[in-house]
Structure 1
Amino acid sequence: MKSLVLIFFLPILALAQDDQFTPASTNSLDHYVALYSATDLKVNATSSEELYSFVEKLNSKREGFKHDKAFLEYIFTKTHQRFLKNYTEYSSFNDLLNKGAYNCLTGTALYALLLEHFSIPYKIIETNYHIFLMATTSDGEVLLETTDPAHGFTDNEAEIEKRISGYKQNTIQQSTRKKQYYHFSFDLYNTVNLDEMLGLLYYNHAIKAYNNHQWVNAVAYLEKASLLYQSPRLEEFSRIILLSVVESKLDTSLKETYIKKIQYVRKRKMEVVADASY
């Protein structure tokens, strides 16, 4: 199979009552930080002390804000300054917390956990090559674009509509002409939850492994992703990696093992679709 560069989430840059948010239990934050960190199987567990210290500081600042949208903007700005320092296309959640290296998927995951912690109503929106957040405040909706520190907090209705229209076009912003990017055959605009976000983090690892011709790791990550989130992107990627494994130079017995694993993932996807049709 001709080598293609697969991409997942890319950055898309800039083109009522005063009810206070009640912080949710830290157990939820602990739970998802541990799960998201564990997606990076080759590194030690992330130290979350800095994140928890940061959350406590946000808690202490909350009462100083008269409007919830102002507090949300404070969260957006301070989180970017503290954790989102260098955009790196396939960085992991561990990389974000430990090194400040992030992409739009891991950045969105972190903001989603913070919004969840402070009980701020939000939606995680997934498109073909991008993911972003919509938050609801007593002063109106806000779009959070995690890869745009200068203009990523958008509360203007017309600008929100403009950005969403751009996201829905599902076009690829190619970083170099030397790469041949794969274009998905579908158009996504889905709302995902924190558990499905975990599946997407595993999926991104699978894409990275595939691009590095690490078929064994790619299949392992794909299996984990498929257990958490059934998506057209997983079905399409499983077909691509199946062809790649078939044409690879893996040992025959190992090749057969991973072909069976991929076929199982594809079969499970069809069974889920069939069950949903009843």
Structure 2
Amino acid sequence: MATQAQVAPRRLVYTSPLEEKALNATGPATEQTYLAQLLAIRPGANEDQVAQASKLLADLYALIDATKPEGKPMAKRVRTIFEQVHKGFLSKYEDKATFDQTMGSGIYNCVSASALYALIFEHYRIPYAIRQKPTHVYVVADPAASNIMVEGTDPQGGYFLPDARFKKAYVDYLAEGKLVSQEEVARLGVEEVFKQKFQADKTITLPQLISLQYYNKAVLALAEDDAEQAYRALQKAEKLFHTTETSYLLVESLRYRLNGISYAKMEDVEKLTDFYAYQPGSKYQDEAISDFRGLTQKFLMDKGDTATYRAVYKSFQGSVADSATRGTISFVYYMQRGRMKLLQQNYLPAFHLLMQAYHYNPTSPELQGMVNALVQQESSRSGGGIRMLRQLDLFVYEHPREKGTPLLAQAYLHTYGRTALDYFAQDKRAEGKKYLALFEQAQSGKGAAVENEAAANVYLAASLCSGRANDLPGVKAYARKGLSYEPSNPSLQRLASLK
């Protein structure tokens, strides 16, 4: 049964060292942590800008402190903060504003203004809640008592207003990921399910609000047909705080990015595997396998570019969550690499690759035929049996669980026979007898067989070696065993009749 695995996160492309540092901050979050994360959305943001914003906040706190807020009723404390913020920061409302613009020039929207209020309430330890509606964000101070709404923005100016197509596609996405049942969709309808599930009225945290700033940036990029920019922003939104809405838009942005791609380089391939990384369950498993086969042809078979092909395989393995699909991709990878080595008559590396493919699909007749042919071809060369046996033993040492597989048993049987023949041909009787015993033992097992001619040739070599050692009983005994496989063999008949 296929299982779901956690896929590896994609490498983010940061727009500044500050952004990379801020989005990967560890330890307890502080006001400075949040401030850096909010400012980092600006490309090229740096520590000097964080320091400048910190000074602006410090000046604001000094003005608020001058009013001696301690001991005053909550409503007056919040009113003072509201007035000072509007007086010192909020000068112009724009839908596309980001927090760095709010701090630098007073341009703000519902997200950036709410983030500023949240920072200030954090500083003064005033209880607050950030409320999120489908098209708006605002802050409530002292939500358990006074419940004071701090609203300094245009509530009609939202960060995203989905249309009917978007609503249906999003509900389909929820159903495919089993986040909502088909029965529920049929019963409630697309509009109601969307209303309940997509950014429904809820309370969010400051880290979620910071994530929302990146989400907002991505939505604006999608509206401008900049899928690459949208994807990069959504990655960061997802890193800061996971939501189903963000995951869905990630998939949508990836879908746009794939239009017209030729997959000429790894950067293109990673766009494709990014798309598969965010798919729920086993969705698109056939498409993933088909795409991998196509890239196998492109990079391995046509170009012989093994290094890039390895990178392609690694990218797919790190992206496809369904274990059955990953197994099929692994089978294709090892099978085709093994086939290439086989065509180059590089038999020993080919054997290791094909046996790894066998692990993922032991029932493939084509693979079994290739391995059997490979073992025979390699071991038929001078000294090949001994070389092949070393490779078999090495493979079993590295993959002990594969020892009892029928294909490996067949390979051992043929190789024991050929190794015995090689040693007898070199007049190394002790070694020859050792591997002849192993050959006979392997013949008695299930699932492995050797052609009569091949078995007869092993005993012919043993008989001839005995003759060179002046061991007439051995000559005749081995010859008679050989005749049990090939009764009409004239050489064995002659040796068996010696007196």
Q: Same fold (TM over 0.5)?
A: yes
Distance 1:173 1:219 in 2: 19
- Aligned residue pairs: how many? 220
Q: Quick check: 1:132–1:143 contact (8 Å CA) kept in 2?
A: yes
Per the TM alignment, residue 95 of structure 1 is displaced from its structure 2 partner at its CA by 0.6
Q: Quick check: 1:120–1:136 contact (8 Å CA) kept in 2?
A: yes
Per the TM alignment, residue 112 of structure 1 is displaced from its structure 2 partner at its CA by 0.7
Per the TM alignment, residue 243 of structure 1 is displaced from its structure 2 partner at its CA by 2.5
For residues 78-103 of structure 1, the C-alpha deviation after alignment (integer angstroms, 9 at most, x for no partner) is 20121111111111111110011111
Q: Which amino acid aligns with 1:116?
A: E
Which of 31, 34, 58 is residue 33 of structure 2 equivalent to?
31
Q: Which amino acid aligns with 2:235?
A: E
Q: Quick check: 1:39–1:202 contact (8 Å CA) kept in 2?
A: yes
CA 1:199 to 1:250, structure 2 compared with 1: closer, same or farther past 3 Å? farther
Which residue matches 1:241? 253
Which residue matches 2:273? 260
Which residue matches 2:117? 111
Q: Which amino acid aligns with 1:74?
A: T
Which of 41, 51, 54 is residue 43 of structure 2 equivalent to?
41
Which residue matches 1:91? 97
TM-score, normalised on structure 2? Answer: 0.39
Q: Quick check: 2:227–2:254 contact (8 Å CA) kept in 1?
A: no
SS in 1 for 2:117: helix
Q: Percent identity among equivalent residues?
A: 22
SS in 2 for 1:62: coil
Per the TM alignment, residue 218 of structure 1 is displaced from its structure 2 partner at its CA by 1.6
More helix by share: 2
Per the TM alignment, residue 190 of structure 1 is displaced from its structure 2 partner at its CA by 2.0
Query: Which aligned pairs between 1:1-278 and structure 2 lie closer than 5 A?
Result: 28-45=30-47, 46=49, 47-48=52-53, 49-63=55-69, 66-136=72-142, 140-147=146-153, 186-187=194-195, 188-247=200-259, 253=265, 254-265=267-278
Per the TM alignment, residue 56 of structure 1 is displaced from its structure 2 partner at its CA by 2.2
Q: Quick check: 2:221–2:229 contact (8 Å CA) kept in 1?
A: yes
CA 1:245 to 1:82, structure 2 compared with 1: closer, same or farther past 3 Å? same
SS in 2 for 1:33: helix
CA 1:259 to 1:219, structure 2 compared with 1: closer, same or farther past 3 Å? farther
Q: Quick check: 2:254–2:274 contact (8 Å CA) kept in 1?
A: no
CA 1:181 to 1:36, structure 2 compared with 1: closer, same or farther past 3 Å? farther
CA 1:54 to 1:263, structure 2 compared with 1: closer, same or farther past 3 Å? farther
CA 1:216 to 1:58, structure 2 compared with 1: closer, same or farther past 3 Å? same
Q: Which amino acid aligns with 2:215?
A: Y
Report the aligned-residue RMSD.
3.4
Q: Which structure ranks higher in relative contact order (CA pairs < 8 Å, sequence separation ≥ 6)?
A: 1
Per the TM alignment, residue 261 of structure 1 is displaced from its structure 2 partner at its CA by 2.8
Q: Which amino acid aligns with 2:40?
A: A
Distance 2:59 2:222 in 1: 36
CA 1:50 to 1:235, structure 2 compared with 1: closer, same or farther past 3 Å? same
Distance 2:63 2:151 in 1: 23
Which residue matches 2:360? none
Distance 2:152 2:85 in 1: 10
Distance 1:250 1:180 in 2: 32
CA 1:208 to 1:259, structure 2 compared with 1: closer, same or farther past 3 Å? farther
More strand by share: 1
CA 1:107 to 1:251, structure 2 compared with 1: closer, same or farther past 3 Å? farther
Per the TM alignment, residue 115 of structure 1 is displaced from its structure 2 partner at its CA by 0.9
Q: Which amino acid aligns with 2:208?
A: E
Q: Which amino acid aligns with 1:81?
A: K
Distance 1:263 1:73 in 2: 50
SS in 2 for 1:75: helix
Q: Quick check: 1:235–1:266 contact (8 Å CA) kept in 2?
A: no
Distance 2:69 2:257 in 1: 56
Q: Quick check: 2:159–2:216 contact (8 Å CA) kept in 1?
A: no
SS in 2 for 1:124: strand
Which residue matches 2:388? none
- Could you list the runs of 5+ residues in structure 1 that have no partner in the other structure? 1-26, 153-165, 269-278
Per the TM alignment, residue 35 of structure 1 is displaced from its structure 2 partner at its CA by 1.4
SS in 2 for 1:120: coil
Q: Quick check: 2:113–2:153 contact (8 Å CA) kept in 1?
A: yes
TM-score, normalised on structure 1? Answer: 0.67
Distance 1:266 1:129 in 2: 27
Q: Quick check: 1:219–1:262 contact (8 Å CA) kept in 2?
A: no
Q: Which amino acid aligns with 1:261?
A: D
Per the TM alignment, residue 104 of structure 1 is displaced from its structure 2 partner at its CA by 0.4
Q: Which amino acid aligns with 1:32?
A: Y
Distance 1:266 1:223 in 2: 15
Distance 2:276 2:208 in 1: 21
Distance 1:136 1:234 in 2: 29
Distance 1:85 1:230 in 2: 32
